[in-house]
Structure 1
Amino acid sequence: MDINGASAIVTGGASGIGAAVARQLAAKDAKVVVADLNSEKGEELAGEIGGVFAPVDVTRTEQIKAAIEQAEELGPIRALVNSAGIGWAQRTVGRDGSYDSAADLEAFSKVVAINLIGTFDCVRLVGTAMSRNEPTESGERGAIVNLASVAAFDGQIGQAAYSASKGGVVGMTLPVARDLAAVGIRLNTVAPGLIDTPIYGEGEQSEQFKAKLGESVLFPKRLGVPDELASMVIECLTNSYMNAETIRVDGGIRMPPK
Structure 2
Amino acid sequence: MTAGQGLRVERDEATGVAVLTLDREHKHNAIDLETAAALAAVWREFRHEDDVRAVVLTGAGAAAFCTGIDRDVSLRQPSSPYSVDDPLLAIGPKANDLWKPVVAAVNGMACGGAFYLLGESEFIVSATTATYFDPHTSYGMVSAYEAVYMAQRMPFGEAARMSLMGTAERLSARRAYEIGLVSELAEPAGLLPAALRAAETMAGFPTEAVQGTVRALWSAKQAALHQALSQAPALISLGNLAPQRQAELFAGRRKPGPGPGPRVR
- TM surpasses 0.5: no
**What TM-score, normalized to structure 2?**
0.31
